[in-house]
Amino acid sequence: MTTKHPSQKASASSPADFLKTVVPFSELDDEAFQKPANTLTEETFAKGTLIFTQGKTRIEFLYLIKSGSVTLYLRDEKDIKRRNEYRGPGDYFGALGIITGTAANLSVEAVQETTCILIPKETFQELLRTVALFAHY
């Protein structure tokens, strides 16, 4: 689910410019690209910010990491962190909760100051329904 793309430009100036560098968005034709491009917001999280809390946070956006990094982890029944995974520029999180309609299945924390491009879940769901390419990612 997480793939690094060496052709990405982490310093793209606008959210839409950055989105054009991230697969599968970079594969959209101009018409298909306009819908997500018109709904983007950008948010910066300070180091240590808990963006999602496992089992509690309702997922309202797909988060694309523009800069910085996050750790994704699970807590077991004894509240011990399990399965640490790191994601950085060009990676995303939040897709599973949008697809399944459930709360976050893991916690996500900013490892350093992290800027994300947020795509509303309705926009992401529409892309999944109308653009076959998205179903493969």
Number of domains into which the chain is organized: 1
How does pLDDT run across 44-69, given as a tens digit for each residue? 999 999 999 999 999 999 999 999 99
CATH of the domain at 94: 2.60.120.10
**What does the pLDDT read at residue 64?**
95
Cis? peptide before 24, omega within 30° of 0: yes
Rounded CA-CA distance 90/45 in Å is 16
- What mean pLDDT is reported for the chain? 86
Domain membership of residue 36 as a residue range: 15-135
Question: Model's pTM, two decimal places?
Answer: 0.84
Residue 8 lies in a domain: no
CA-closest candidate to residue 60, choices 108, 131, 124? 124
Strand partners, 86: 71
